[in-house]
Structure 1
Amino acid sequence: MDDVFAALSHPVRRTVLDLLRERDGRTLGELEQALKPHTTLTRFGVMKHLKVLEEAHLLLTRKVGREKHHYLNPVPIRLVADRWISRYAEPHVAAMTGLKLLLETNPMRSTAPKHVYELFIKATPQALWDVLTDDTKTPLYEHFNMTSRTEWRPGGARTYYMGDRQVIACTILDMDPPHRLVLSFHAQWAPDVAADQPSRVTWEIAPIGTDACKLTLTHNDFDGETATSKAVVHGWPEGLSRLKTLVETGEPFQLAAPAA
């Protein structure tokens, strides 16, 4: 966590995160322009601060055409919060942890990812894959302790439930065990999200040495600024931090589920 606190210690880097919170997916040029009222840094100076944030995993980058887009990664901040926030305070704090907002105000579908998360897990890709593909373990890490039922094959259905109520319908679009899983994602927990077109969730697992891996989750292909794109920012940071705890320790990080 030292690198996270070090990255957050500089006001320019905190301003960068605030800018990405306001509008994620900005290019270097866009960030440079947005920072001008706050600093006299040169383009090279901005790049140095972005590098510190990227090395602390608070910022992720993705190439879209010839441009590099920058995305806020709230998972490390969520892990810090999970360490010190009490279980009594957590329900109130959770409502304020939607650190990722929308990429742009353009209502048309974008080629840039909407939400990108990255974290490092002290476990092999196979160990992480085994948890992700075990329906009995889903409620041990998912937001609201959701359960799941899955047909583990390309084209198979994966359905999430709260109690007996179906809340998310997915289809497996691609599987490459233990490195890649791609799902369509159709939220159904409320009428507004149920009216949205399905989006796409991609889990990518890359080995690091012999006993660790990097997990990158990309949730994109939203049809503009949808109710789903606004809602999922609250669930992913919690679910990913709980997943990391479960895979690394074998112990679930339990949160009380709401009434179905």
Structure 2
Amino acid sequence: MSVYSHTLDAVDDDVFKALNDPSRRLLLDALFAHDGQSLGELGELLPQMTRFGVMNHLAVLEEAGLVTTHRDGRRKLHYLNPVPIQMVHQRWITKYTERRVRTMTELKSDLEIEAARAVPDHVYQVIINVSPAVVWNAIVDGDVTQQYFYGTRVESSWEEGAGIRYMYPDGRVASEGTIISIDQGKMVEMTFQALWDEELVAEGPAREIWRVEDFNGASKLTIELYDTPVGSKTYTDFVSGFPYIVSGMKTVLETGRSLPAPY
């Protein structure tokens, strides 16, 4: 799985070069409409092109960080990763406008979770130029989450079965959930239920897996989203909200500064 790990200018160069092709833009449009597609499914969009040609286009998008992949048995599934575009957006556009976005979720039945566990609905990935220990601390330390997670503080004992919640500065609970499994310093699987929106509450909980890996002395952060059906408000809010969270963490840890508030 390839991710972008260059300077900001190099990232922008890769992104713009990748977007400078109508076939690659068509592939991104297809993933925006329906994430987690195989090479064969995406190839149907370009019937005039060989399988090898489609693979080359996907490789360019993956190298630019615009696409991430996930293995499901013998299949390689492709996901739109909007984080590089979010970084471009921050560089030139956030001064003028930014959408208000949301996040979070909680636990369905064990049977439902097991059935949905294998293939994520969406995958985000970013390289952060700090150690894995620093990234992990940014996930579990409420003082740090306040700086990138829409101003909310995370609270949990960070052990299997423990509760987890994100708190607004005024003491209101933004979301709550459960730690399903955890490998300290490396991975946490959790559920959340958003509490600020009745429609999100009615749709029920979703699930996240956060993974932190060493990447040549830096860190690779991967976030997988599950139980967020395409077309649901939960899916829409996650897809629009997580690029701000991921790029916000990267900015805080690499520069010490928070991104401008999105609202």
TM score, norm. by length of structure 2: 0.83
**What's the counterpart of residue 156 of structure 1?**
162
Match status 1:213 vs 2:219: yes
Match status 1:45 vs 2:53: yes
**What's the counterpart of residue 205 of structure 2?**
198
**What's the counterpart of residue 78 of structure 2?**
70
Q: 1:240 aligns with which of 227, 236, 246?
A: 246
Superposition deviation, residue 191 in structure 1: 1.5
**What's the counterpart of residue 9 of structure 1?**
20
Deviations 1:199-223, CA, capped at 9 Å, x for gaps: 211111110122x111100011346
- Which amino acid is 1:87 matched to? K
Match status 1:180 vs 2:187: yes
Local SS of the residue matching 1:70: strand
Superposition deviation, residue 164 in structure 1: 2.9
**What's the counterpart of residue 32 of structure 1?**
43
**Pair 247,66 (structure 1): closer, same or farther in 2 beyond 3 Å:** same
Deviations 1:162-190, CA, capped at 9 Å, x for gaps: 33322211211222222111111222221
Q: 1:253 aligns with which of 229, 244, 259?
A: 259
Q: 1:54 aligns with which of 52, 57, 62?
A: 62
Q: CA RMSD in A?
A: 2.2
Local SS of the residue matching 1:137: helix
TM score, norm. by length of structure 1: 0.84
**What's the counterpart of residue 107 of structure 2?**
none
Distance 1:192 1:117 in 2: 24
Local SS of the residue matching 1:235: helix
- Which amino acid is 2:195 matched to? Q
Distance 1:244 1:110 in 2: 27
Deviations 1:102-151, CA, capped at 9 Å, x for gaps: xxxxxx968521111011110110011112111112120013x2233222
Regions of 4+ moved over 6 Å: none
Local SS of the residue matching 2:57: helix
In structure 2, the gaps of 5 or more residues are 1-11, 103-114
Q: In the TM superposition, what are the counterparts of 1:220-235 in structure 2 within 5 Å?
A: 220-222=226-228, 226-235=232-241
**What's the counterpart of residue 85 of structure 1?**
93
Percent identity for Structure 1 against Structure 2 = 38
- Which amino acid is 1:217 matched to? I
**C-alpha contact 2:140 2:154 (8 A) present in aligned 1:** no
- Which amino acid is 2:139 matched to? L
In structure 1, the gaps of 5 or more residues are 96-107
